[in-house]
Amino acid sequence: MLRFFRHIRKQLMEQNKVRTYIFYAIGEILLVVIGILIALQVNNWNEERKLANEEQIILNALYEEISSNQQIFKGAITRAENVQKSIYSILSYTGPGTPELTKERSDSLIQTLDAVITAEVNQGILNDLMVTGRIHLIQNDSLKHQLTSWVPLYQDEVLEPETSILHSVQNIIIPFLVEHYSMATEGFNRHSGYETRFSHDYRKIYQLIEFENIVLFKEIDYYVLINSYKTMIAYNEGLLEHIRLERKR
């Protein structure tokens, strides 16, 4: 096409048709400009397609990570509920009077008091997006906001109650048990072959109001923790639904 214009331009110059030559020269310039604009547009389309493909890869990875975390939270709830059941069993023996339970049963219940349940969730994909700034490849602002809000929500809803339980076990429960309960349990004796020579009535601890209060606080801690896990599961369900919609675009 440009060769054709150059041929016409040459003829016009030879025929001394300046005005017509100018029109053809302008046409040639316009053709070049249009070609450049088309090339730029094609390049933009290619870049947009590349970014859209990368966004889909990110969404798929996030979907897998969050789905995996859902199972982790559900598993943590199951373990926490088992601790709760043991707590209720302990409370059924507390109070005045001598409880009717064996040393082996008592040891089994007491050991659950130092339980620390945690939900070790995966955050690799989300953390990478936040650190590298690639989270901005996600076009939907609402979804982007949900994702950036996940970490502070997890810290408030999960890490704080988990840390509180750990602190309670280390600074309240274990020191109390060391003072009021023999750690020479049946299981420990079988494992080590050690037999304590101290005389100890394992049932007396159940008659202490301090012990009952400690167990009650433990129950409250796990009630809060279980509901925190449920909050994260509900939040993640909203995220997964949002991601599903974006993947269909």
Average pLDDT of the chain? 85
Q: Is 88 exposed, middle or buried (0-12, 13-18, 19+ CB in 10 A)?
A: exposed
Q: What is the pLDDT of residue 195?
A: 72
Structural tokens at position 83: 């601790």
**pLDDT greater than 70 at residue 37:** no
Is residue 126 within 8 Å of 150, Cβ to Cβ?
Answer: yes
The answer to whether the CB of 129 falls within 8 A of the CB of 147 is: yes
- Residue 136 to residue 246: CA distance in whole angstroms: 14
Helices (H), the chain: 2-14, 18-91, 103-111, 124-132, 141-154, 160-168, 174-180, 186-192, 209-247
pLDDT-derived band at 183 (thresholds 50, 70, 90) equals confident
Q: Supply the pLDDT for residue 174.
A: 94
Highest mean pLDDT, choosing among 19-23, 24-28, 89-93, 181-185: 89-93
On the question of pLDDT at 4 being above 60, the answer is no
* Whether pLDDT at 77 is above 90: yes
What's the pLDDT at 64? 96
Report angle CA 70, 72, 77 to the nearest 5 degrees.
Answer: 95
Angle between helices 18-91 and 209-247 (to 10 degrees): 160
Residue 247: what pLDDT? 84
Place of tokens 């604009």: 37
**pLDDT value at 82 more than 80:** yes
CA-based end-to-end distance of the chain: 40
pLDDT in tens, 109-148: 999 999 999 999 999 999 999 999 999 999 999 999 999 9
